[in-house]
Structure 1
């Protein structure tokens, strides 16, 4: 699955697979990361700050359970671990990748546990065994409240378990019952919270897929509503929608051009060759005109029957005339035969062009000007662009020509 294949159908098919794992294909995973980046970064920042607050409450435990090393414990709290957690809270919003962000978030509970176990190893307090419960609390918080992604939560939990076993083995004077119960209790708590973490992450990804499917379905419906079913170019609904955007701009007025063209003697062509041939002819001509569009701002619509309209924002009359001539030649070069009409010949088109500033005209008025030019092209022999493009390249002549025709 690539970016180009993330469609309604592909997402729907993926949902129907009902996969138990939460991993997405690379392209879909990249889309998921992009769509959830800000929300995920905000969540991690908030939970990391909460983690820092709760962690510093643990200093009460240092006082009551490891009083003999409370100074070093508090120093590790305030000078090492807390600054690191605060850095992580900043970094999760600025990380260059999702992997680095999640890795940084996972490092916060690991740093907390390192401080807890370091204090546990150096204290001689008879209550040292109780101090290890802070490891359990930290792991539960990391896997459930901190909401680490399952992969990183699992890696962090395994690392913490290895560190816990190492600390217990180091503390040789720890009673056997306590030495056994802490790892067992930790494994139970870690397993439960990791299972919950995995279910939550899988559900979140399923909700995302369903939301993505609905979004793609809505986009597809909107696209279909804006397309002419026969020619696969825009329809009048798209024309009016885009015109509202062009004429509704609050910036300085811009020049806009319209090209209205139809196919010469198309009704006779339809009668002679049949509607199937006529439909195929319209599709080929529409594709020819579509290929001539220069930017995404250019709009091509089927205006009605064999009539097509191009609306060209930020395009003056000479440029619009050149584009119309390009399409006219393209239609002629399709070599769609019309022998039954005139003995020997190909399908051609007649083009009317108009241009004006948005502040001086409306869409309807602009189209009316192009329609007038189209009929002039037909009266003057068809298969041509009207008004004809000036042959001179002199700027003053081009400017005076524009003023004479934009009315």
Structure 2
């Protein structure tokens, strides 16, 4: 399965790549305009135009530059709306040049219109990662021009509106197409990368990918101080199920259970994995004990509701035993610690009759162990 968070990360990288070069390119366009505008405009108007044009580009550069400094933290707080506004401002900074058309010669007017089209095309590759952002840029760039073409009495005037609208439409459509191509490339690349981390039968993460993710999440949980919950899940009497109904039926049972698990724990921060054989594990980052326990009970009930026949089980249908734990990561514990504790709780569920959820509580389990030892 493709990780949506990883896709978003790469799309944001594409959107914000090379901020310095983008700003220098923006300034280059201003310089080209200036060569034509400076001789034909009063100094004050020219300086105001330069200031506005640079300010729009600076805002866009600042957001992209901040994104690049700390991608992991910026992604959490990244607001696409702010970059849409900044892109609109960057386009508007250059697009406002159209308001100067009445002061310019005919040849310079044509140059301005051609330059705005060239600028729009030059931003296509970068901003098409999010076509809505590119659309904001086009709006800022061309709205002043369209307003001037509607109101100006001189040539070129309204007769250029259809060609300009066609150019805008073609550019925006090209952005949508490029976004699709980019998504196809990313999905293909991530699909190949994730093959090694995916269980072929259930399409869930496999044990290797789970162990790697657990290490990463453990580090994050240590920094954030937020709870981490983990469920270990076992299909009751699955070996007997396989012996009675055959391995094909066993595979169907595994995929049906896996589907329930995947549909139950579907937050971007959740990870469902097949840990081995008939055993599954769910990593619930930033999840309290009550929320995780409630989810575990829902999963147990949903699998029971599948009504998959298993005459070797007490209920006559497939059921689950679950063990869970909620911990706060600390420096003196290893990432594998919650896995061990959830496994202890799972063993207790099996010991007490299966088809139930047991939650690990240190004081309860420690007392039970000492009582068994004394006996």
Q: State the TM bucket, normalised to the shorter chain.
A: 0.5 to 0.7
Instruction: From the superposition, tell whether residues 209 and 376 of structure 1 become closer, same or farther in structure 2 (CA, over 3 Å).
Output: closer
In structure 1, stretches of 5+ residues that fail to align are: 1-7, 9-30, 60-75, 118-131, 167-190, 192-197, 389-397
Q: After superposition, give the CA deviation of every residue in 1:359-389 in whole Å (9 maximum; x if it has no partner).
A: 143233332232233223223322233358x
**Match for residue 356 of structure 1?**
327
Instruction: From the superposition, tell whether residues 269 and 96 of structure 1 become closer, same or farther in structure 2 (CA, over 3 Å).
Output: same
**Match for residue 297 of structure 1?**
269
User: Is the CA contact 1:247–1:358 (under 8 Å) kept in the aligned structure 2?
Assistant: yes
**Match for residue 79 of structure 1?**
44
Deviation at 1:331, TM superposition (A): 2.1
Question: Structure 1 residue 35 and structure 2 residue 15: aligned?
Answer: yes
Question: Structure 1 residue 220 and structure 2 residue 201: aligned?
Answer: no
User: Is the CA contact 1:49–1:86 (under 8 Å) kept in the aligned structure 2?
Assistant: no
**Match for residue 333 of structure 1?**
305
TM-score (norm 2): 0.62
Where does 1:65-214 land on structure 2 (aligned, <5 Å)?
76-91=41-56, 93=59, 96=85, 102=91, 105-108=94-97, 110-111=98-99, 113-117=101-105, 163=154, 211-214=182-185
Where does 1:171-320 land on structure 2 (aligned, <5 Å)?
211-249=182-220, 251-293=223-265, 295-317=267-289, 319-320=291-292
Separation of aligned partners in 1, 2:110 and 2:321: 81
Instruction: From the superposition, tell whether residues 240 and 342 of structure 1 become closer, same or farther in structure 2 (CA, over 3 Å).
Output: closer
Separation of aligned partners in 2, 1:301 and 1:105: 51
Paired residues, what number?
Answer: 310
**Match for residue 64 of structure 2?**
none
Separation of aligned partners in 2, 1:138 and 1:296: 46
**Match for residue 47 of structure 1?**
28
Separation of aligned partners in 2, 1:344 and 1:199: 63
User: Is the CA contact 2:56–2:86 (under 8 Å) kept in the aligned structure 1?
Assistant: no
Instruction: From the superposition, tell whether residues 370 and 311 of structure 1 become closer, same or farther in structure 2 (CA, over 3 Å).
Output: same
Instruction: From the superposition, tell whether residues 51 and 267 of structure 1 become closer, same or farther in structure 2 (CA, over 3 Å).
Output: same
Q: Which one has the largest radius of gyration?
A: 1
Q: After superposition, give the CA deviation of every residue in 1:211-255 in whole Å (9 maximum; x if it has no partner).
A: 544323223334544432222222223312321222223625444
Separation of aligned partners in 2, 1:145 and 1:293: 45
In structure 2, stretches of 5+ residues that fail to align are: 1-6, 61-83, 125-137, 158-162, 164-168, 369-375
User: Is the CA contact 1:55–1:112 (under 8 Å) kept in the aligned structure 2?
Assistant: no
Question: Structure 1 residue 385 and structure 2 residue 363: aligned?
Answer: no
Instruction: From the superposition, tell whether residues 51 and 86 of structure 1 become closer, same or farther in structure 2 (CA, over 3 Å).
Output: farther
SS at match of 1:299: strand
Separation of aligned partners in 2, 1:273 and 1:105: 71
SS at match of 1:381: coil
Deviation at 1:276, TM superposition (A): 1.8
Deviation at 1:78, TM superposition (A): 1.4
Deviation at 1:337, TM superposition (A): 1.0
Deviation at 1:302, TM superposition (A): 0.7
User: Is the CA contact 1:337–1:347 (under 8 Å) kept in the aligned structure 2?
Assistant: yes
Separation of aligned partners in 1, 2:275 and 2:247: 18
Separation of aligned partners in 2, 1:313 and 1:201: 39
Moved more, 84-93 or 344-353: 84-93
User: Is the CA contact 1:44–1:105 (under 8 Å) kept in the aligned structure 2?
Assistant: no
